[in-house]
């Protein structure tokens, strides 16, 4: 060990501190230019956070057993429209289970397949057909989530709102109940509630 150390240090001293720094910079610079192009495809922190929220919705919401084909069927988190998460959703659910179920991610481009989803994130690209969407899943055990304005008020279930630079939730308890979904108070206590429970 001592020999290794002295060899390492000797070569370092010979090159000198200045050259060490230069070397580090050249290496850093190369890495920098070499990766400049492909590092663009990251996802914003906002959607990283929202992806983690979606995972927590899976953890803190109860679906009726009829929502699953069998006790081992995966819980499906899906997006509808132009996916803003990139790979963040896949990264988040990897290795996670909820009540023994694995979690799967799906990306849909049309309304047809949404019934397989348990959590459905409606992307901004779908803003033109909100009413149609809300009708399509009303009464079904699908937790519909979106960023879109007035989503919760118009009959969606959960809307992400950004306030004070933090993510908040607006939850419509009425539609939640109509869909036989139960959301844990742990989530609801931090959410803004609209609609009524009756």
Partner 1 sequence: MDLKIRVTLTCNNMLRGWRGIMGKCTSICTGLLFAFTCAAQEPAGERGIQDLKKLSLDELFNQEVTVVSRRAENLSRSPSAVQVITGEEIKRSGATTLPEALRLASNLQVAQVNSHDFAISARGFNQPGGLSDKLLVMIDGRTIYTPLFAGVFWDAQNVLLEDIDRVEVISGPGASLWGANAVNGVINIISKSAADTQGGYVSVEAGSFVQDTAAFRFGGKLGTNLYFRIYGQRLDQNGALDSNGREATNAWDMTQGGFRLDWLPQQADTITFQGDVYSGTEQALPSNTTLNGENLVSRWTHTFSNESEFTVQGYIDRTWRRLPGIFAEDLKTYDLDFQYRLSVGERQTWLFGGGYRLMDDEVSNFPSGALAFLPATYDMQLASGFFQDEISLVPDLLKLTLGTKLEHNDFSGIEIQPSIRLAYMPTKRQTVWLAVSRSVRSPSRIDRDYHIPGTAPYIIDGGPNFRAEKAIAYELGYRFEPVHRLSTSISTFFNHYNDIRSVELSDPATGIFQIENGLRGQSWGVELSGRYQATDWWRLNAGYTFLKERIWQKPGHVDLSSGKGEANDPPHQFTIQSIMNLPSDFQLDLTGRYVDRLPSPNVPSYITFDARLAWEFRKHLELSVVGQNLWGSHPEFGPAGTRYEVPRSVFGKVTWRF
Residues that bind partner 1 (CB under 8 A): 1, 5, 9, 12, 17, 20-21, 24-25, 28, 31-32, 35-36, 39-40, 42, 44-46, 48-49, 51-53, 55-56, 60, 87-88, 91-92, 94-96, 162-168, 186-187, 190
Q: Which is nearer to partner 1, 130 or 170 (CB)?
A: 170
Q: How far is the CB of 164 from partner 1 (least distance, A)?
A: 5
Comparing CA positions, the residue from 40, 39, 77 lying closest to residue 58 is: 77
Q: Which is nearer to partner 1, 70 or 164 (CB)?
A: 164
Q: Which is nearer to partner 1, 87 or 115 (CB)?
A: 87
Tell me if 77 sits within 8 A of 93, measured CB to CB: yes
> Reduced to 3 states, what is the DSSP secondary structure of residue 157?
coil
Q: How far is the CB of 132 from partner 1 (least distance, A)?
A: 29
Q: Give the separation between CA 24 and CA 110, rounded to whole angstroms.
A: 50
Letter string b/e over residues 34-50, b meaning 16 or more CB atoms within 10 A of that residue's CB = eeeeeeeeebeeebbeb
Q: How far is the CB of 42 from partner 1 (least distance, A)?
A: 5
Q: Give the separation between CA 8 and CA 126, rounded to whole angstroms.
A: 60
Q: Which is nearer to partner 1, 14 or 45 (CB)?
A: 45
Q: Give the separation between CA 8 and CA 2, rounded to whole angstroms.
A: 10
Q: How far is the CB of 55 from partner 1 (least distance, A)?
A: 7
């Amino acid at each position: 060990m001592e020999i290794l150390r002295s060899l390492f240090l000797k070569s370092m001293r010979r090159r000198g501190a200045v050259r060490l720094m230069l070397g580090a910079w050249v290496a850093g610079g190369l890495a920098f230019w070499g990766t400049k192009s492909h590092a663009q495809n990251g996802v914003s922190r906002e959607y990283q956070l929202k992806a983690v929220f979606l995972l927590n919705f899976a953890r803190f919401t109860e679906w009726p057993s009829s929502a699953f084909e069998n006790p081992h069927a995966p819980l499906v988190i899906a997006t509808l429209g132009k996916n803003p998460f990139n790979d963040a959703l896949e990264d988040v659910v990897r290795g996670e289970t909820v009540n023994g179920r694995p979690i799967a991610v799906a990306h849909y481009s049309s309304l047809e397949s949404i019934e397989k989803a348990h959590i459905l994130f409606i992307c901004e690209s779908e803003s033109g057909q909100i009413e149609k969407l809300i009708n399509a899943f009303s009464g079904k055990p699908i937790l519909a989530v979106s960023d879109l304005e007035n989503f919760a008020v118009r009959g969606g279930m959960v809307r992400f709102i950004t306030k004070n630079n933090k993510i908040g939730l607006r939850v419509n308890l009425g539609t939640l109940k109509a869909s036989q979904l139960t959301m844990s108070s742990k989530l609801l206590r931090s959410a803004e509630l609209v609609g009524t429970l009756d």
